[in-house]
Chain A
Amino acid sequence: MPIPTSGNFRILVGLVASKNGDYQAGTVGATCGNVLPVMSDAAIAAYLNANGGGLGAVNSRWTDEIFCDPVCFGIFPIAGLHKINFWPATDEFIFNPGGSEEIVDILTAEMPNGFLCTALQLFWRGTARKTSSGVDIIDFKLSYDNTVVHSDATPNLNNSSITTSSTAIIPAGLHRGLVSALGLLSFEATHVEATVVPTSCGDFDTSQSQFQINQFYFQGDYILWSSNIAINPSTVFPDDIVTITADGDLDQITDLVARYRDDDGILSAEIPLTMISQSATQIVFAIPQSAFGGAKILISGTGNGVEFSGQTNLGSLNAGLVDGSGLYTLVPGKRDDTYYDRSVNPPTTVDVAIPTPRAKTGYFNA
Chain B
Amino acid sequence: MPKTTNKGGEFITHINPVRLRVVGEGNLIATLYSLDDVDSMELPALVMTPTNKRFGEYLSNFQSLQIAIEFKVLQKDEWFKIHTVTPYVKPVAASYPR
A contact set with B: CB distance below 8 Å: 335-336, 351-354, 356-366
Contacts and interface: CB of A to CB of B under 8 A. Distances in A.
B71 interface: yes
Interface in B58-84: 64-80, 82
A366 B70 contact: no
A363 B68 contact: yes
Given A357-B72, A359-B70, A359-B72, A365 B6 contact: yes
Interface of B: 4, 6, 9, 11, 13-14, 33, 35, 64-80, 82, 85, 87, 89-92
B68 A362 contact: yes
Contacts of A353: 74-77
B39 to A, nearest CB: 13
Contacts of A360: 33, 68-71
B82 A336 contact: no
6 contacts: A356-B74, A359-B72, A361-B70, A363-B9, A366-B14, A366-B89
Given A335-B79, A366-B89, A366-B90, A357 B68 contact: no
A361 B69 contact: yes
Shortest 4 CB-CB distances between A and B: which pairs?
A: A353-B76, A358-B72, A363-B66, A365-B13
A363 B35 contact: yes
B4 A366 contact: yes
A356 B91 contact: no
A351 B4 CA distance: 51
Contact of A356 (B14, B68, B72): B72
Most central of A352, A360, A361, A366 by chain B CB within 10 Å: A366
Contacts of A356: 72-74
Contacts, number: 69
Contacts of B71: 358-360
A364 B76 contact: no
Contacts of A335: 76-79
B93 to A, nearest CB: 10
A362 B78 CA distance: 24
Contacts of B66: 363-365
Nearest to B71: A359
A341 B84 CA distance: 41
B82 to A, nearest CB: 7
A357 B48 CA distance: 15
B76 A358 contact: no
Nearest to A356: B72
A353 B82 CA distance: 20
A345 B72 CA distance: 37
A353 to B, nearest CB: 4
B47 to A, nearest CB: 17
B68 A351 contact: no
A355 to B, nearest CB: 10
Contacts of B89: 364-366
Nearest to A337: B76
Nearest to B32: A361
Given A335-B77, A353-B76, A364 B67 contact: yes
Nearest to B9: A365
Contacts of B4: 366
Given A364-B87, A365-B89, A366-B89, A351 B72 contact: no
A363 B67 contact: yes
A366 B11 contact: yes
A248 to B, nearest CB: 51
A238 to B, nearest CB: 24
A316 to B, nearest CB: 38
A357 B6 contact: no
Contacts of B33: 360
A335 B14 CA distance: 36
A356 B77 CA distance: 11
A352 B68 CA distance: 29
Contacts of A362: 68
Contact of A364 (B68, B91, B92): B68
Nearest to A361: B69
B68 A365 contact: no
A366 B80 contact: no
A366 B91 contact: yes
Contact of B76 (A336, A361, A366): A336
